[in-house]
């Protein structure tokens, strides 16, 4: 995540470095050992995932009655 208006070249550079780190064998194994699935994707793919998750998780939070303290 970066602030809105961040230049595309900075977003692309950060994405490249983060994907490389996530795909490193040490971090990949650590994430998997905790039950996670290491994913290195594009900024666009992350944006689509977030857009899909907001209604799904929003509905779940509303139905559960969860409140923020």
> How many residues make up the chain in this entry?
69
Q: Is residue 36 part of a domain?
A: yes
Q: Where are the beta strands (DSSP E) in 1-69?
A: none
Question: For residue 50, what are the domain limits?
Answer: 8-64
Total domain count for the chain? Answer: 1
List pLDDT tens digits, range 34-64: 999 988 899 999 999 999 999 999 999 999 9
Q: How much is the pTM?
A: 0.66
Of the chain, the percentage scoring pLDDT greater than 90 comes to 81
Tokens of 25: 């064998």
2 within domain boundaries: no
């Amino acid at each position: 995540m970066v602030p809105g208006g961040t230049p595309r070249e900075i977003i692309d550079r950060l994405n490249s470095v983060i994907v490389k780190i996530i795909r490193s064998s040490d971090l990949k194994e650590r994430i998997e050992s905790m039950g996670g699935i290491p994913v290195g994707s594009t900024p666009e793919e992350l944006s689509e995932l977030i857009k899909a998750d907001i209604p799904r998780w929003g509905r779940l939070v509303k139905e559960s009655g969860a409140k923020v303290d």
